[in-house]
Chain A
């Protein structure tokens, strides 16, 4: 019996020839990650362990991205605690405001995660790096603390579910729509404790940015990780970025899957996840009339160059609806600069959008775009739970960046084809 890509990566990290789903293993980690919300708690737990130094100062990544630039005094204290720890420990990869990015956009861009890696992060969207053919999963602060000390952690080897996407994607349909459609089909616990392996011709043609979006939302189906086997496109992406040797893994033809799900995507429409769950999806043509107050374009899900280009294509020479606030959050400083060079930021600003430094703020109702009671937002983010973006009686509709941009122009949920 062969192994899946997830099993092979975990076997290597556990120093074994093979592992099987359900086994508990101890595995070394290639890197660990924390942010300004989760790291302070991890640092306090780390300091109880009784070791002086982290396992490797080059492999502990700390990114102040959630409530930064500091939104209030308490947040400033948390960011300070993390910054001081990074200095005390001599961490190579602490990213200060102005030189940072949203962690899951930043680490791949900086070549700090690569194919075959095992990465844990105290943030649930750590699963994003699966797009590079890595095993990456979110953990809590105490697990991060233990891994910072030991350079290893434990996993229960997940079963894998294979998703095959057949056909060619229609215009305005991308990675966000594939993953929303999938979550809508299998439900928010449809892949609980499992690995979601994304394959098929539509994935082969998907850009790396689209693949990051898909792997990013695997957690929204309850999955332990999402993963896409590396191909030439992956190698092109990591070439010149990655700072460590990496290893390419692929699933064996006779690998065992809990199940295989096949979709023909050639007639897929852009998807909208209605409140208050990412699996409450409909095609945009079935959305009906939904008037909106705010649009957020950005986040670890859709804050990359492809996303901004798509939004700019819809917004060029157009104006944001008078009743709508459009907020654009490039994923990293590098993306911000590139969007500036390409003239995208001009398009956003001329359309009447607010363009922000990278931050997770609005996605989780932290700051920079909190919703009032009864307000509705279209967002390219990943969660639309009750109260996610602000008041518990506000609403969030999840879409791709083109739908979000078109909705900003028309003041209601709209198909990009209605605008362009």
Chain B
């Protein structure tokens, strides 16, 4: 899966309350949530993000609440991939479950600036900064998570299991 877009940089401990504030959780409509994505971290984000753009966070990205509305809002905003040093554990599961590619790569977090053009091969775990020419290897995705991705998300994976 080849992904390409401009980088949006965020700091450490980006919590799910700033990714999608609770005041918008009276709906789970992805398009509606996308309008408010990252609103309390960067109010301009939702209006300016372009399809394919990539979020580059710091450590513990997606900490806090279990709300799946957070990765849904990011996906709904057209973001193709999130790169971070590491992810909070619930966000990590949620992203795979709904089919939002995420990669753990501390070197890429250091080597990508806001606005850089970035290309990602999510399956191979390779990240290239097209602006600087630097290349990075993300932490490999565990085989079980790859199965979920290959199936098209957790629900498709479970469907196969239920059907035997």
A-side residues, CB < 8 A to B, are 24, 37-38, 40-41, 44-45, 48-51, 66-67, 71-72, 74-75, 78, 121-124, 126, 138-143, 145-146, 149-150, 154, 156, 188-189, 192-193, 219, 222, 224, 277, 364-366, 370, 383, 385-388, 390, 392
Contact = CB atoms under 8 A, between A and B. Distances in A.
Given A139-B93, A140-B93, A222-B60, A145 B25 contact: no
Interface string B3-31: 00000000011010110011101111000
A364 B159 contact: no
Interface in B28-59: 28, 39-41, 59
Contacts of A24: 142, 144
Nearest to B91: A140
Nearest to A47: B155
Interface of B: 12-13, 15, 17-18, 21-23, 25-28, 39-41, 59-60, 63-69, 71, 86, 88-90, 93-94, 97-98, 142, 144, 153-155, 158-159, 161-163
B88 A385 contact: no
Top 8 closest pairs, chain A to chain B, by CB? A140-B94, A74-B26, A140-B68, A142-B97, A189-B60, A364-B22, A387-B40, A138-B66
A48 B89 contact: no
A38 B67 contact: yes
B28 to A, nearest CB: 5
A143 B154 contact: yes
Nearest to B71: A140
A50 B21 CA distance: 32
Contact of A142 (B18, B144, B155): B155
B86 A192 contact: yes
Nearest to A277: B13
25 contacts: A24-B142, A24-B144, A37-B67, A38-B66, A38-B67, A50-B163, A75-B26, A78-B26, A139-B94, A140-B90, A140-B98, A142-B155, A146-B154, A150-B161, A188-B13, A188-B60, A188-B63, A189-B60, A189-B86, A192-B60, A222-B89, A365-B21, A365-B22, A383-B17, A386-B41
